[in-house]
C-alpha cells in the first residue's frame, strides 16, 4: 500500500518493492502519484529504466541502519582535536563538542551504528551555493598560524578550511549513502556548523552552507525533484534561507527563538516561491510550544512530499544551553526526531540525513544527540 497521506491510493498495492530502479525509487512506490513517471513502471519488475547506470536499490533492504559520519582528522587532545578548526579560548564552538558526541555514541546502545570518517569535498561542491570569489576570499583569510577573525563571532585557523570542506564532504557522503540505499538514514557530526553562512558571507561560526549544499547535490546530481530542509537550532537558519530563497524544489522549515541572533526568521519571510516556513518561538518556550509548531509544519512537509529530508540539527534550544533561551530537554529532541521520522517513513522511505549545527553545553549536547540518534535508529513507517 502507498503510505503517503497526500496520495489517497491506499487501496492499491506496491508490487515488487525490492526491485525498484535506483533512479526511480522515490517515485515508484505509489502508482497513482507516479503518473508522470508511468512509463517506468516496468522497473518494479527489476529492469533498468535507462536513467541510471548504477543498478537498483530498495530502501527496505537498508533496513533501519543508521550511518554516523564524524571527523577524526587532527586527532589527539587539545583545542583543535577532531577537526583542525581552532577557535580562541572560551569560544563556545570548540572541538570538545565533537569529543562529547563521540563519547556519548561510544556506548553499547549505539554499537549498531555504521561509522565512517568524513573526507573533504572538492571546490565544485561548495560552488553549488557559494561563488568562487567567496571561496577565494576565505582562502586568503586563513592565517599561517593562530586564528583570524572574520567577524565578532567567526574565526578561522590554518585547519579551518579543511574542516569546513570535510563537513561538506561528510554530509554529501551521507546523502549519497542514503540515496544509494546503503543505509536508511544518517547523522553527521562535524564542525564548523553551516546554517548561518550566506552566499557571500561567513557568520555565526559558519563558513559554508553545508546542508544547503547537500540539498543542491541531491537535486542536481541525484536528480531528485523535491527536498525538505528542517532546522531546529535555537538560532534562525538565515544562511540556508538565503541560499534557498529562490529554490522552488526545496521546502525550508526553521523553528528558532525570536528575538535572538541573527535577527531574521519572521513568519513573513516566505521565500520567492512560498517555500520557506519560519516558526519563531518566544523566549521560555518549551516542549509543548515546540510540539504545536512542528505538528503543523510537518503536515506541510508531508503535503510537499519530499524525496529526502535534511536536518540542520542544532541542540542549543536545550534548557541548559548558554546561547539560547528556550527550555527544551532530551525528551523533546526524541519526540521531534520521532515525528520527523514518521513523516519521512510515509513520504520518502525514511530517507533522512541529519547534520550537527549548534549545541554548546557539553552535557546537554551529548544527551540530546544521543536521544536524536536513538530516534534515527528506531524503525519508522
**Of 168, 193, 166, residue with least CA distance to 93:** 193
277 burial type by CB count under 10 A (0-12 exposed, 13-18 middle, 19+ buried): buried
Residue 154 DSSP SS3: coil
Which one of 37, 130, 196, 372 is the catalytic residue?
Answer: 196
Which cell goes with 191?
564542525
> Which residue from 348, 96, 326, 106 is spatially nearest to 232, judged by alpha carbons?
326
Among residues 121, 118, 119, 77, which one has the least CA distance to residue 99?
A: 77
User: DSSP letter at 120?
Assistant: P
- Rounded distance between C-alpha atoms, residue 359 and residue 315, angstroms: 4
Please give the Cα distance from 380 to 20 (Å, whole number): 20
d(CA 66, CA 305): 22
DSSP string covering 278-304 = EEEE-TT--HHHHHHHHHHHHHHHHHH
Phi, psi angles (nearest 5°) of residue 227: -130, 140
Rounded to 5°, the CA angle 330-118-215 comes to 75
Among 1, 43, 38, 45, residue whose Cα is nearest residue 22: 43
CA distance 21 to 98: 37
Cell numbers at residue 24, please?
Answer: 526511480
Radius of gyration of the chain from its Cα atoms, rounded to whole angstroms:
20
Degrees to nearest 5, angle at CA 151 with 149 and 157: 25
Is 318 among the residues known to form the active site? no
Cα-based distances in Å from 138 to 73, 124, 197, 210, 214: 20, 15, 12, 15, 20
- The residues that are catalytic are 196
Amino acid at each position: 500500500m502507498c503510505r503517503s497521506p497526500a496520495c489517497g491510493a491506499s487501496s492499491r498495492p506496491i508490487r515488487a518493492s525490492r526491485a525498484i530502479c535506483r533512479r526511480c525509487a522515490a517515485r515508484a512506490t505509489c502508482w497513482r502519484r507516479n503518473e508522470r513517471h508511468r512509463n517506468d513502471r516496468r522497473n518494479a519488475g527489476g529492469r533498468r529504466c535507462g536513467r541510471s547506470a548504477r543498478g537498483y536499490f530498495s530502501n527496505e533492504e537498508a533496513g533501519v541502519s543508521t550511518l554516523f559520519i564524524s571527523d577524526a582528522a587532527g586527532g589527539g587532545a587539545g583545542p583543535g582535536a577532531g577537526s583542525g578548526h581552532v577557535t580562541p579560548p572560551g569560544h563556545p564552538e570548540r572541538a570538545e563538542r565533537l569529543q562529547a558526541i563521540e563519547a556519548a555514541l561510544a556506548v553499547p546502545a549505539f554499537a549498531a551504528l555504521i561509522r565512517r570518517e568524513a573526507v573533504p569535498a572538492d571546490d565544485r561542491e561548495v560552488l553549488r551555493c557559494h561563488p568562487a570569489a567567496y571561496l577565494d576570499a576565505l582562502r586568503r583569510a586563513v592565517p599561517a598560524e593562530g586564528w583570524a577573525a572574520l567577524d565578532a563571532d567567526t574565526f578561522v585557523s590554518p585547519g579551518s578550511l579543511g574542516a569546513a570542506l570535510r563537513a561538506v564532504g561528510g554530509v554529501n557522503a551521507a546523502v549519497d549513502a542514503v540515496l544509494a540505499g546503503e543505509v536508511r538514514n544518517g547523522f553527521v557530526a562535524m564542525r564548523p556548523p553551516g546554517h548561518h553562512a550566506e552566499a557571500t558571507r561567513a557568520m555565526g561560526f559558519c563558513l559554508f552552507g553545508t546542508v544547503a549544499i547537500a540539498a543542491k547535490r541531491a537535486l542536481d546530481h541525484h536528480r531528485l525533484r523535491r527536498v525538505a530542509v528542517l532546522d531546529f537550532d535555537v538560532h534562525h537558519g538565515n544562511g540556508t534561507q538565503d541560499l534557498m530563497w529562490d529554490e522552488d524544489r526545496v521546502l525550508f522549515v526553521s523553528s528558532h527563538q525570536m528575538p535572538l541572533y541573527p535577527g531574521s526568521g519572521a513568519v513573513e519571510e516566505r521565500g520567492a516561491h512560498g517555500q520557506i516556513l519560519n516558526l519563531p518561538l518566544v523566549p521560555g518556550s518549551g516542549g509543548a510550544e515546540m510540539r504545536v509548531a512542528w505538528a503543523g509544519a510537518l503536515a506541510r512537509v508531508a503535503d510537499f512530499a519530499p524525496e529526502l529530508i535534511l536536518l540542520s540539527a542544532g541542540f542549543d534550544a536545550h534548557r541548559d544551553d548558554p546561547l539560547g533561551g528556550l527550555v527544551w530537554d532530551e525528551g523533546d529532541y526524541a519526540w521531534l526526531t520521532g515525528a520527523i521520522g514518521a513523516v519521512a517513513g510515509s513520504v520518502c522511505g525514511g530517507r533522512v540525513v541529519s547534520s550537527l549545527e549548534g549545541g554548546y553545553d557539553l552535557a546537554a549536547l551529548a544527551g540530546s544527540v544521543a536521544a536524536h540518534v536513538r530516534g534515527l535508529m528506531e524503525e519508522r513507517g
